Structure 1
């Protein structure tokens, strides 16, 4: 693809240096539909990034767009704080009927604010309030957000350093296979909990991702997650599953933890819960944990009614009949097969892959290879990003609604990009 140098002057002179994704994709995007983005010069890009997992159902999904336009055209409420509205009622009823009840879950629903970090902050605050303790245990290479409480349970040193103050009351433990299978699961964690001289304050909760997206597509085994849930019960700790990127069907089932058979005490959702890329997040928790006083945790933008509308349409369209999970797992097998072939072809470079459902990572012995692969993919008309503590993993997040042909197209581009960076 030949790309004319775009006019980026306003972004470079006026926008903060903190911007990041635009540096890897130096063009000006104008339109989007389904699995594709189009820049202002008419170039087409296949999107295997999908708003970092915020667009599981593609760009400008026509079913969701129609629901949103109808709502706006009748002057439906757009901003409602936490007031009762018809849009919120429809979402709560749909979420109960389509998501919670079929899974025998009676969790309460909290709208903590528009972002995933808001959901995590609410989860941590609630766990500390319920248990009357400060300490939270997290895991190596975990990522939970950029606000101070969320950063305290995030592993990435670069992101943590941006806080500018000590990040306290968080203790990291080894994620599944962090020690390459050299020790039994949780031996260090359990030893610290049992030893009065360990220096570990009794934790209020443990927060975990079942698949660490930003951390490098590290997949926890179902048995490891079950062991963690049992450990939490034995030691009176709440289990928080951060399902912000991996929930809403990314791994197959609606919740990423369903495969393991566990039911967390607290769950955070964001990104694709609105279905349309609009800001929305949920903190779910068991009814007995609902100890909030009215207004004790609030926020101006926790009532995004247009997002309630698209969220309801998403659940009714894609999750009411149980077919989305089957389709995602089938599409995942298609990607896994291609990555397996790539790993064999590039075994000399230490190529390996890992993932579940429609989140996959490809990595090489040379850490910088992932960055070069993503750069070449962009030049060929495809968006993919890196992840991992050294940006050493090529992370694939195609839309759950991507067709087999679109996945094949992306996998062909990826294969070419890998070959041309060998």
Structure 2
């Protein structure tokens, strides 16, 4: 493709049409409209917000604690980590947060088995109560699985209830699939674990196949009300990204990559749960597909976060050949996000190396600040 047309804005080239057809094969039929934005996930979030506001005539947005939705003008105020916003002054008005169902650190104090329903019912409460301080928003936006918050995985009932509540109050539901989508969780899209269909979804990251810059939203036909030229952008016609994205989606289907992620993720979690059981500093191991995490603590009883230990695991694991991320509300979560095509042998070797690092940290052979 690089030897042909590389950039064509909105012109429906054969390469662009092929990308659309590849996406349509994996999207729920209800999400019949696809719109390509700028090259980053933040651009997709911005487009989703604009679409929601334009269709509803409202400007408020409800997001969730722990959320990460981007770093641009309207996506940054939706990102819960205050360190990203400190020193920037007032941002986009009308954005309010409510708790996400974080099982290990239950924000409601209710019995854990009730947490996910409680979190959804809290959304219903703030939308129903005129004294809650929440005006009726244009949309509710959430990650189907929270990423930067530390791989927080909601039970299906939570997303199902949020879908019902949004319908009840005539509020649009936006699922941010930028990190959890395109096979990462063992489904093509993470919201599919709950058997629901949002009104709008955002996509980026893996959508570019080999890492080419691309973003998109998919949405229901009823929302296709934008007049021609209402939303534009220069870098939303990257033919190389379209070619790579289409090829990747077709290759994933042909080689069963999503199914592989689901099956291998289950095997990895068996090993990670064994690691949790045998360690005094692994508070919880959790995962869905190949989106996994270890929440590190100083003490399992108090669950006091141990961010320095998480950073030490990242450092020493890297020295031994394994790259991980660190995230979480307290910076104490070691996040494991291997390639979706990783072999079982390599995945198990990686977990073995991480387990070895944790063992050496506990014994004092390796030092943590």
TM-score normalized by the length of structure 1: 0.79
Q: Does 1:80 align with 2:13?
A: no
Deviates more, 1:235-244 or 1:407-416: 407-416
Q: Does 1:154 align with 2:79?
A: yes
Report the CA distance between 1:181 and its aligned residue.
Answer: 5.5
Gaps of 5+ in 2: 298-305, 363-369
Query: 1:352 — aligned with what?
Result: 284
In structure 1, the residue corresponding to 2:361 is in which secondary structure?
Answer: coil
Q: Does 1:220 align with 2:220?
A: no
Report the CA distance between 1:188 and its aligned residue.
Answer: 3.1
Report the CA distance between 1:404 and its aligned residue.
Answer: 0.8
In structure 1, the residue corresponding to 2:179 is in which secondary structure?
Answer: coil
2:33 and 2:219 in contact (8 A); partners too: yes
Query: 1:118 — aligned with what?
Result: 43
Residue 330 (structure 1) aligned to one of 263, 283, 291:
263
Distance 1:193 1:137 in 2: 10
Query: 1:41 — aligned with what?
Result: none
Matched length:
345
Higher relative contact order (CA 8 A, sep 6+): 1
2:282 and 2:294 in contact (8 A); partners too: no
1:152 and 1:169 in contact (8 A); partners too: no
Q: Deviations over 1:13-41 (max 9, x none)?
A: xxxxxxxxxxxxxxxxxxxxxxxxxxxxx
Deviates more, 1:290-299 or 1:259-268: 290-299
Change (3 A) 1:256 1:162: farther
Gaps of 5+ in 1: 1-70
Q: Deviations over 1:307-332 (max 9, x none)?
A: 111111112111257x2232111110
Query: 2:326 — aligned with what?
Result: 386
Distance 1:134 1:119 in 2: 17
Change (3 A) 1:180 1:329: farther
In structure 2, the residue corresponding to 1:144 is in which secondary structure?
Answer: coil
**CA RMSD, 1 decimal:** 1.5
Q: Deviations over 1:215-239 (max 9, x none)?
A: 1110011001100000000001000
Distance 1:163 1:241 in 2: 27
Q: Deviations over 1:138-171 (max 9, x none)?
A: 0010100001201121111101225433342111
Query: 2:275 — aligned with what?
Result: 342
TM-score normalized by the length of structure 2: 0.90
Residue 109 (structure 1) aligned to one of 18, 23, 34:
34
Distance 1:271 1:409 in 2: 26
In structure 1, the residue corresponding to 2:74 is in which secondary structure?
Answer: helix
Deviates more, 1:164-173 or 1:176-185: 176-185
Distance 2:88 2:338 in 1: 31
Change (3 A) 1:292 1:320: farther
Q: Does 1:99 align with 2:35?
A: no
Distance 1:268 1:172 in 2: 19
Change (3 A) 1:287 1:259: same
Query: 1:374 — aligned with what?
Result: 314
Q: Deviations over 1:90-146 (max 9, x none)?
A: 1112222x213xx43342000111100000000011101100011100001010000
Q: Deviations over 1:40-94 (max 9, x none)?
A: xxxxxxxxxxxxxxxxxxxxxxxxxxxxxxx23xx22111122221210111122
Report the CA distance between 1:180 and its aligned residue.
Answer: 5.3
Query: 2:90 — aligned with what?
Result: 165
Deviates more, 1:127-136 or 1:178-187: 178-187
